[in-house]
Amino acid sequence: MNPHPTLTILEQSKVMPPPATIGCKSLPLTFSDMLWLTIPEPVHILFFYELSISKTHFTQTIVPNLKQSLSTTLQHFFPYVGKLNIFRTCGRLPEIRYVDGDSVDVTIAECNLDFSDLTGNHPRKCDKFYHLIPLLGRVAKVSDHATIPVFAVQVTLFPNSGVSIGMTYLHSLGDARTTFNFRKAWASIAQSGSDESFLAQGTLPVFERLLNYHKLDESLSKIAKAEIFDKVYKLRKLSGPTDKVRATFILTRTVINGLKKLVTTQLPTLAYISSFTVTCAYTWSCLAKLHNEELAMFLFAVDCRTRIDPPIPAAYFGNCITPCVNLERTTVLKDKEGFLTAARLIGDNLNKKLADVKDELVRDRIGSITSLVPEVGPTTKMTGVAGTPKLRFYDFDLGFGKPVKHETISIDYNGSISISASRESNEDLEIGVCLSANEMNDFVGYFNYGLESMVIVIEVKSLLPVVIMRLSTPPAFTTPSASTTMKPSTPLVDVARELRGLATKEFICVDKCVDCLKGKQHKLSHLAKEINSITTVLHLLHMDLFGPTSVKSLDRKSYCLVVTDDFSRYTWVFFLSNKDEIAEILKSFILKVENESDHHVKIIRSDQGIEFKNHTLNSFCESKGITRQFSAPRTPQQSGVAERRNRTLIKAARTMLSDFKLPITFWAEAVNTACYVKNRILDKAYRVYIKDSSIMEESANVQFNEHTINKPGIGPDWLFDLDKFTSAFNLVKEYVLELQTTTLDSIKCTREEDFRVDLPIASRQILVESTSTHQVVSQSETTNTSQLEVVLPNLEPSNLDLSSQLDVILGTRIHNIHRTDNIIGSVEDGIEPMKVAEALKDSSWVEAMQEELLIKAIRIFRAFAAARNFKAFQMDVKSAFLYDKIDEEVYVCQPPGFEDPKFPNHVWIFINQSKYVKDILERFNFTDCKSIGTPMHKTTSLGPDLEGEDVDQNPYRAMIGSLMYLTSSRPDIMLATCLCARFQANPKSSHMLAVKRIFRYLKGAPRLGLWYPRNANFQFMAYTDSDYRGCNIKAEYITATSCCAQVLWIQNQIKDYGVELSNTPIEIDNSNAISITHNQVKHSKNKHIDIRYHFIRDCVEKKLIHLVKVDTYYNLDDLFTKAFDEGRFRYLIAAVGMINYE
């Protein structure tokens, strides 16, 4: 982001309607229009469009089209180009008058602000947006009247990023419906190039004054004149610097329906419950927690057009709204039922306003401003609403796509909020909020935590409406004077956990609604062509453009044009500085390639970008007889060949730049090299096992028979016997406990008979060569089973070449990479043992190899012992087995400091390391730090941070080592600790800050630990999820396979306790991965998954496990793969069985 934002004015012009199209016209204001004259705050709105265009294209194409379409639109909406006139004399009402020569000020500018930052939903500084909105002209006062400009436009370019269109207008000009009709007409004219389509729709504005209430008009006219002439009337404007930030919150249809369901359940007599009602109520209740005023006022406008008898046309020009005022004490809204209170108040007032809207307008009121809107005192906090969810603001398409972001900047004046339909779905709602930085931080916490708490209530109550009566209200909040905190009054997670054992309802739909099925239908996937209809080169060319790149190439290029021949898949790449160069490049390229190949280009296929769809290329193709094919908007599947080629080249270029440690400025050379290599090698190759020759071959001429199911059992029976395979997992029983002596000949014979495999010839040769040099034991030698010698190939990197010799001691590698105090055993003794027999002789290696399995086995035993009420005895293993039996009785008692006075003889299995936490906090000087609620911020994304400040490795590694030891009983810090452990080789200041945050979290939760309750319902289930950086089907499937391996190991461990576990559920939140597991056919979608990961299919078929679809919210594995806010984080640690023992 540029630290010094600048705005460069490129042009200041005046746009007028076409000559002799309007004449002199005037439009008198009604009382509903004059009400806004007392508020000297214009309306500011902004639309952002994502366009990667150059400055030349912007000034020569975009700007002229916008001016031309605006001029045509003003011809039909003359008040926008006129001026507001207010007369001194009595009897003359204010009016908007247009005379020949009036114009609209249009400013063309260029800005260097970060476009992606401005179009985000996160909190952004408000004063960044003030550069992008135009200012209205000054108020001019003459002898008998005053004139005020009413409308202005500013178009701002963000080079190679996008364009913003800002509009400023007086609210007296019209309400939201009027301005929406104006923008709709402008968009229609801009897209078609004329007003014919707009006129055909029959949506011309209605200028007839249909609201005739003379007493109200006279009353408000007097007040407006007093404001203009008796005072120094000046329009307000927004300027920086300011500490305010603005953010956008999105409520999806699912959340809105949940809120409506909660209100319906708790307030069954409420007459009016809508999406707008619950959205306003929830936002108002959250805002009330930020302020300490005595009263809170919530104000919004109601459209009266269709609610007056007779109704007023929707195209009526002007204001036709009435305010709806809601007033309540702030302490009531802060209460635990604040949301329901706000919903009841807004719903009742809105229902009354809609029923009495005619009386509200017809009733003549003298001094009607105070009667319509009560006076706001110093002890009242007023919050207004701008916008409406009924109007689709994101449909403002001026010919270059829908806007990516819509902002109402004028809410910065008085702390109002904006509500509109979302860009992605008209059923989702966007809420724009402007607050100070500190208030925004607190508001985000209130908003997110309240939603998560109420969603839990709604979902649990929908299943068990009778049992959970104490969860009927959202959590209460307390707001101390010193700081703002949130404390839920009811432990929702604990109560929900207690009810998990109850039976849930099953909802079965017998009759299917045809209308619902039609509404949920989606477009079919694009099927691949079975037979290629292209038979010659250059018959069809696919082309696509990628860019602009964040870093320019050595030749100052920012774009790359990729052209691919459909028949041969031969590819050409061209590098450009701007998109405007494409036309000339394609013209010369087509002429050259046709001359070299003696073939003619017949079809060109591309997307509908303006770089391909322009007059120059159209004329050239018409002259050459070339057919143009364009993909449908927002359907990249129709350009699959070009998209895949782009992706292939980009990945190859990224790999080369990383391998050769080159700067990013070489990206064009890397792409060019990748294209050169791709054109000269086989596009696809497969490694295939040939049964006849027993060798592996690599070939591109492979055809897959996807219509035949793979049949198990082809080969030795033991190769497919999964039961026998899993029974071999118990290595401890076979090699440690049985101390029988046998000869090495019999052992080798047995192992050869059980594990004989017909290997390919190449593999046999490698195996013989790698094992022949390690045969150090004669066949007649006798050995112990516990010292069984298993020959393993040497996999050191320096020994990949079989002809190379291995040094006895690799001292350089050991001393340079590893610290001496971290090495097991003595350095002089040589490298790590290469055989199991050698490792079993060294007690240090035995302890190191069994440490991880021991921790897992102990956890399983503890959980099972607590569930089945076993008597567990803890003893010294050396005393028990080395020095005969112990004569004394050994008892387990409650540890010091954890005695339970109510049950002194009971022993609960609760594992925590509070003393160790205290020790490491003291060791690293965190005893006096400020605690924090989560070990990692939900937006944290750790990376190498090559440009960051270096920190000392020794304290960083010491802190990581201490935390890694703590993870055995603290799974809540597992994710954060493992992420930070990746950067021990070169830690930066950002990594150290992340580690310090973990210690701050431990400061606030030192006694958190794992709880194994007695007599609990022992159930074995597993959860699986991909890593925290996102996932795809392949990643989810591979992760599920790894989870399956862990499940099989645990099942084998539980067998020692006499329990047979089968068909263990593995809960996963990806239905596609489940489908691949049940599909036994080799499909093109999963051909890139290594075959070793498909053993999960056999486990499912043998009913060892089964995959279950679980909602993402209830996937407990999220605790180890993602970072969350405090509310979601505490739900997960409670769900996995962690409690805070006080």
How far apart CA 1063 and CA 1019 sit, in angstroms, is: 12
* pLDDT tens readout for residues 223-253: 666 566 556 567 788 877 788 999 999 998 8
pLDDT tens by residue, 319-351: 888 888 888 888 888 888 889 999 999 988 888
pLDDT of residue 308: 77
pLDDT for 850 = 59
User: How far from 930 is each of 453, 933, 1003, CA to CA, in Å?
Assistant: 26, 10, 8
Please say if the pLDDT value at position 804 is more than 50. no
With a cut of 50, say whether residue 471 has pLDDT above it: no
**Which whole-number Å values give the CA distances from 67 to 91, 131, 178, 259, in the listed order?**
38, 21, 21, 45
From the candidates 397, 1056, 1098, 1125, give the one annotated as an active-site residue.
397
**Residues shown for the chain:** 1142
Residue 1111 has pLDDT above 70, yes or no: yes
Confidence class of residue 835 from pLDDT cuts 50, 70 and 90? low
Q: What is the pLDDT of residue 897?
A: 52
The verdict on domain 7-229 having CATH code 3.30.559.10 is: yes
| Alpha-helix residue ranges (DSSP H) falling in 464-546 | 492-498, 514-519
| 706 vs 684: CA distance, rounded Å | 18
Q: Rounded mean pLDDT of 603-611?
A: 89
Lowest-confidence segment of 497-506, 573-582, 746-755, 857-866 by average pLDDT: 746-755
pLDDT at 623 over 50: yes
**Per-residue confidence band for 694, with pLDDT thresholds at 50, 70 and 90:** low
Q: Give mean pLDDT, residues 638-652.
A: 86
pLDDT at position 1034: 84
* Sequential DSSP letters for 163-213: EEEEEEE-GGG--HHHHHHHHHHHHHHHHHSSSHHHHHHT---B-S-----
Residues 6+ apart with CB under 8 A from 319: 30, 32, 33, 35, 36, 171, 172, 174, 175, 178
* Mean pLDDT across 76-83: 91
d(CA 53, CA 579): 7
Give the other-Cβ count within 10 Å of 1137's Cβ.
16
Mean of all residue pLDDT scores within the chain? 75
The predicted model gives 1120-1137 an average pLDDT of: 87
What are the backbone angles phi and psi of residue 924, rounded to the nearest 5°? -105, 15
Marked catalytic residue, from 76, 131, 145, 171: 171
In our burial notation (b when 16+ CB lie closer than 10 A, e otherwise), range 236-257 reads eebeeeeebbbbbbebeeebbe
With 0-12 / 13-18 / 19 or more C-beta atoms within 10 angstroms meaning exposed / middle / buried, residue 7 is: middle
**For residues 206 and 780, which has the higher predicted lDDT (pLDDT)?**
206
Residue scoring higher pLDDT (997 or 899): 997
Q: How far apart are CA 658 and CA 674, in angstroms?
A: 14
Q: What CATH number does domain 540-678 carry, 3.30.365.10, 2.160.20.10, 1.10.287.990, 3.30.420.10?
A: 3.30.420.10
| Averaged pLDDT, 834-847 | 63
In 3D space, the residue among 565, 575, 578, 582 whose CA is nearest the CA of residue 669 turns out to be: 575
Q: What is the DSSP letter of 400?
A: S
The percentage of residues in the chain with a pLDDT greater than 70, rounded to a whole number, is: 67
Cβ distance 1093 to 1074 under 8 Å?
no
Up-side HSE of residue 837: CA atoms within 13 Å toward CB? 12
Q: How many CA atoms lie within 13 A of 862 on its CB side?
A: 17
Is-catalytic flag, 76? Answer: no
Do the Cβ atoms of 28 and 209 come closer than 8 Å?
yes
Flag whether pLDDT at 792 surpasses 60. no
Domain ranges of the chain: 7-229, 244-386+428-442, 540-678, 893-1017+1123-1142, 1026-1114
**Could you report the per-residue pLDDT of 384-407, keeping only the tens digit for each?**
999 888 888 898 999 888 999 999
Instruction: For 298-355, give the DSSP string.
Output: EEEEEE-GGGSSSPPPTTB-S--EEEEEEEEEHHHHHSTTHHHHHHHHHHHHHHHHHH
pTM of the model: 0.46
Is residue 505's pLDDT more than 70?
no
Mean pLDDT score, 752-762: 34
Distance, in Å, from the CA atom of 157 to the CA atom of 167, rounded to the nearest integer, reads: 15
pLDDT exceeds 70 at position 370: no
Q: Higher-confidence residue: 886 or 684?
A: 684
Dist CA 439 CA 914 (whole Å): 35
Q: Work out the pLDDT band at 34, boundaries 50, 70, 90.
A: confident
- Model pLDDT for residues 148-162, shown as the tens digit of each residue: 899 999 999 999 899
Beginning with the edge strand found earlier in the chain, give each strand of the sheet holding 627-630 in spatial order.
Answer: 571-576, 559-565, 540-546, 603-606, 627-630
Stretch among 111-125, 507-521, 567-581, 918-932 having the lowest mean pLDDT: 507-521
Q: What pLDDT does 770 receive? A: 35
**What average pLDDT does this structure show over 1092-1116?**
88
Average pLDDT over residues 486-513: 44
According to the per-residue pLDDT averaged within each range, which of 780-789, 829-838, 926-935 is highest? 926-935
Confidence of residue 507 (pLDDT cuts 50, 70, 90): very low
- Tell me which fold the domain 244-386+428-442 belongs to: Chloramphenicol Acetyltransferase (3.30.559)
H helix or E strand, kind and range, residue 639:
none
Average pLDDT over residues 673-686: 74
Residue 904 burial (C-beta neighbours within 10 Å; 0-12, 13-18, 19+): exposed
Q: Please indicate whether residue 454 or residue 244 has the higher confidence score (pLDDT).
A: 244
Say yes or no to pLDDT of 220 above 90. Answer: no
Of 458 and 204, the structure prediction assigns the larger pLDDT to 204
Tell me if 291 sits within 8 A of 329, measured CB to CB: no
**Are domains 244-386+428-442 and 540-678 of this chain identical in fold?**
no
Phi/psi for 227 (5° steps) reads -65, -35
**Integer Cα distance of 862 and 968 in angstroms:** 13
What are the tens digits of pLDDT across the range 729-754?
333 333 333 333 333 343 333 333 33
**Is there a catalytic annotation at residue 511?**
no
Angle separating helix axes 974-981 and 989-1004, nearest 10 degrees:
160
1047 has pLDDT over 60: yes
Q: Report pLDDT for 809.
A: 36
Compute the CA torsion angle 879, 882, 886, 887 (nearest 10 deg): -140
Both tokens of residue 504? 């849930």
CA distance 331 to 334: 5
Strand 417-421 versus strand 405-408 pairing type: unpaired
The 10s digit of each residue's pLDDT in 958-1016 is 999 999 989 888 999 999 999 999 999 899 999 999 999 999 999 999 988 887 766 55
- The residues near 351 (Cβ < 8 Å, ≥ 6 apart) are 271, 272
What is the average per-residue pLDDT within 87-107?
A: 85
Q: Rounded CA gap, 561 and 671, in Å?
A: 11
